[in-house]
Amino acid sequence: RNNLYHINRIHRNLTRHYINATAFLNITLPLDIKYHASFNYIQNESLSKTHDSLLNAYSFSRDSWPKVFDNPANLMLTYEQTHNTRWTFQTNFSYNKTFAGKHDVGAIVGFEAFESISDPFSARKKGWTSMVLDQMDNITNVEYVKGAMSDFASASVFGRVTYAFDGKYMAEVNLRYDGSSRFASRSRWGFFPSVSAGWRISKESFMEGTG
């Protein structure tokens, strides 16, 4: 395999533009309540142009030409274009406070939503009229033209309450209400609660001097 031959015969030009930007806000409100909001936007665009050229490969071991590309009518030009965007919005109120040095209370309630859109396009033509310009108008036969658009989105409302006593005993309650466009409209939303508890036995007095 002559890699230099393949490098010289196949020409590809790729142009890509990428944006990833985030704006956020953090505010401390009365009663030790904190507010957070953020918005993230991502955009990814690319354009790829690939074509082969007139170049034959000779094999000394076979004493023949196994790869022959000497007819412009057999050469192809391929365009591939992608356009992807995604945005995410998050906002929440949170509260954390310790009472009497032993009671740790925390709570958070918030909302999150995002949407993703993909819009790809590709086309290929075969049969060059001239090798001077590598443009679609310079090629005669259409091999294919493909394009499709897809998008999906989701939204969530969530809340959590936590309590800890003296760093030993902990309890947590979580509530979520999630929706996704990937499901049918009648079953798009779901409620997901959860409860957990913990005990740090290593903090107990009877565990002193062990381990």
- Can you give the pLDDT at residue 10? 87
- Can you give the pLDDT at residue 56? 85
- Can you give the pLDDT at residue 153? 97
The first and second tokens of residue 137, run together, are 């108008």
Return all residues near 187 (Cβ < 8 A) that are at least 6 apart: none
The first and second tokens of residue 104, run together, are 């740790």
- Can you give the pLDDT at residue 176? 96
Low-confidence ranges of the chain (pLDDT < 50): none
* Phi and psi, residue 4, nearest 5°: -60, -35
Distance CA 117, CA 148 (A): 11
Distance CA 61, CA 206 (A): 83
- Can you give the pLDDT at residue 172? 97
- Can you give the pLDDT at residue 1? 65
Average pLDDT, the chain: 92
For the purposes of burial, counting CB atoms within 10 Å of the CB of 154, is it exposed (0-12), middle (13-18) or buried (19 or more)?
middle
Exposure string for 156-181, b = 16+ CB within 10 A, e = fewer: bbbbbebebeeeeeeeeeeeeeebee
Q: What percent of the chain has pLDDT over 70?
A: 98
